[in-house]
Amino acid sequence: MSPDDRIAAFLTAARPAVEPAFDAAVMQRVARQAFVRSLMTLGGFALVGALALWAAAPVLATALEPAAQSLGTGVAVLAVTFSLLALGERIFRPA
C-alpha cells in the first residue's frame, strides 16, 4: 500500500459519530468561561470606579452640595412626573 493509498483510505473513511451531549457540555463550558471572564473584567472596572469615587468624594462633596440643595425639589418633581407618565401609559395602553 503506497502512501497515496493510505491517505485516500484515511480521507474516505467514515466520519466519527457526533455526540450531542459532549458538544453541549463543551459549549456550556466555553460559555461559562467567557461569562466568568467578562464578570471578572466588569468587577475590576467597578472596583476601580468605586476607588476613584471614594478618592474624589471630598472634592465632589464640596462642589456638588450647593447644587444638590438647589436642584433637589426640581429633581423630585421630575421623578414624580415621569413615574406618573409611565404608570399612565401602562394603565391606558390599548389592548
**DSSP letters for 37-82:** HHHHHHHHHHHHHHHHHHHHHHHHHHHHHHHHHHHHHHHHHHHHHH
**What is the per-residue pLDDT across 7-31, written as a single tens digit (0 to 9) for each?**
888 777 766 677 888 899 999 999 9
DSSP assigned state of 1: -
**What is the per-residue pLDDT across 47-90, written as a single tens digit (0 to 9) for each?**
999 999 999 999 888 888 888 778 888 888 999 999 999 888 77
DSSP assigned state of 13: S
Grid cell digits, residue 77: 418633581
What's the CA gap between 22 and 29, in Å, rounded? Answer: 11
What's the CA gap between 60 and 76, in Å, rounded? Answer: 21
Whether residue 95 has pLDDT greater than 80: no
pTM, full prediction: 0.50
